[in-house]
Amino acid sequence: MFRSFSAKLLEVRELTPKEKLFTLRFIDPHLNDGFTYKPGQFVMVDLRGFGEFPISICSTPTRKGYIQLCVRKAGRLTKYMHELREGDVIGIRGPYGNGFPMEIMEKSKLLLVSGGLGMAPLRSVLWYALDSGKYAEIRLFYGTRSYEDILFKDEILNLLQHGQHMNCYVKLSYEIDSPHFSQLKSNCPQSVCKGLVTDLFEGEELDAENTYAIVCGPPVMYKFVVKELLSRNFSPGRIYMTLERRMRCGVGKCGHCIVGTSSSIKYVCKDGPVFTYWDALSTRGLIE
Ligand SMILES: Cc1cc2nc3c(=O)[nH]c(=O)nc-3n(C[C@H](O)[C@H](O)[C@H](O)COP(=O)(O)OP(=O)(O)OC[C@H]3O[C@@H](n4cnc5c(N)ncnc54)[C@H](O)[C@@H]3O)c2cc1C
Ligand code: FES
């Protein structure tokens, strides 16, 4: 129905037992040079003849010439994608969705709160902010289940230990003990704790008036993180979230991703996937 463009897999890297990182380049060099996107946008991956599915772009537009997708093996299509090898060609259409308003947030502080696979779209925000140097401060609170589940482990652990040189402060929570975490805890006792991502707020003085919060994680996480942010005087308009819904077209035509009621309808693919907490308050079903 919609045209996708051929892209070659330059690298396929296993990040965790469930997630792989795919680095792609469009075969048409003009398209490759001209392809631009915002952190928080997604593409439709076209596995020619098998079907299409949406995936957030996890690379940053500040680094040109390739895009990266972090794909969790969830079902039929993502399982097929995991079997692909370097050199294989897939179709990509997009970028779609609104993305995060990075320009509006310039000069402010950013608080990124991520759980599990939510780190994929937030990695794009993180590296965009670090590369551009336009933000007063970057904080990342990242909740993971186990050491094996940490996405982009080298990058995250490097920022955890040395990020302060770039005005970037990373905190990590985990649920399952491991000797790696014990080691990290003894190296960075203030930044690593056993528990949930909300436990990372403890003892933090957050400058709510000058900070934008960006939240991405499993649906159950939103309620608790938003509660924490509101109790620290974040206004609903300064809390951004990226949400997932089942999608088909990705461009507001098929109606698969509609949420809300007749008084306030939203297409998650077109009006989102990034919404403020204000949007969530005025649109039924946007968050659970
Ligand atoms: C805007 C957007 C961005 C996304 N970004 C990423 C990403 O960066 N990395 C990633 O791994 N996945 C991402 N997803 C989810 C991804 O699209 C689904 O995992 C994929 O479509 C599953 O296809 P499948 O055929 O492998 O699985 P299916 O066989 O279709 O489903 C397998 C299981 O996954 C569940 N599922 C399928 N689609 C979704 C969805 N949209 N939301 C929640 N659960 C779903 C099904 O209910 C089922 O339990 C994103 C989805 C959206 C809408
Ligand atoms: S996915 Fe078709 S309208 Fe949103």
168 known ligand binder = no
Residue 99, sorted as left (phi over 0), alpha (psi -120 to 50) or beta, turns out to be left
> What is the 189 CA–ligand 2 centroid distance (Å)?
45
The CATH number for 5-96, chosen from 3.40.50.12780, 2.40.30.10, 3.40.50.10800, 3.40.1170.60, is 2.40.30.10
Q: What average pLDDT is seen over the chain?
A: 94
- Angle CA 197–99–61, to nearest 5: 100
Give the pLDDT score at 286: 78
Strand partners, 22: 12, 69
pLDDT tens for 2-46 read 889 999 999 999 999 999 999 999 999 999 888 999 999 999 999
Q: For residue 276, give Cα distances in angstroms to 213, 235, 242, 247.
A: 10, 10, 9, 20
Supply the residue whose CA is at minimum distance from atom 52 of ligand 1.
244
pLDDT tens for 80-128 read 999 999 999 999 999 999 999 999 999 999 999 999 999 999 999 999 9
Residue of 1, 41, 243, 249 best suited for mutating to test ligand 2, as the one with most atoms within 8 Å of CB: 249
Q: Is pLDDT of 1 > 70?
A: no
Domain boundaries, the chain: 5-96, 109-242
Ligand sitting nearest the alpha carbon of 272: 1
Reduced to 3 states, what is the DSSP secondary structure of residue 219?
helix
How buried is residue 246: exposed, middle or buried, by Cβ count under 10 Å (0-12/13-18/19+)?
A: exposed
The CATH number for 109-242, chosen from 1.10.230.10, 3.40.50.1470, 3.40.50.80, 3.30.530.20, is 3.40.50.80
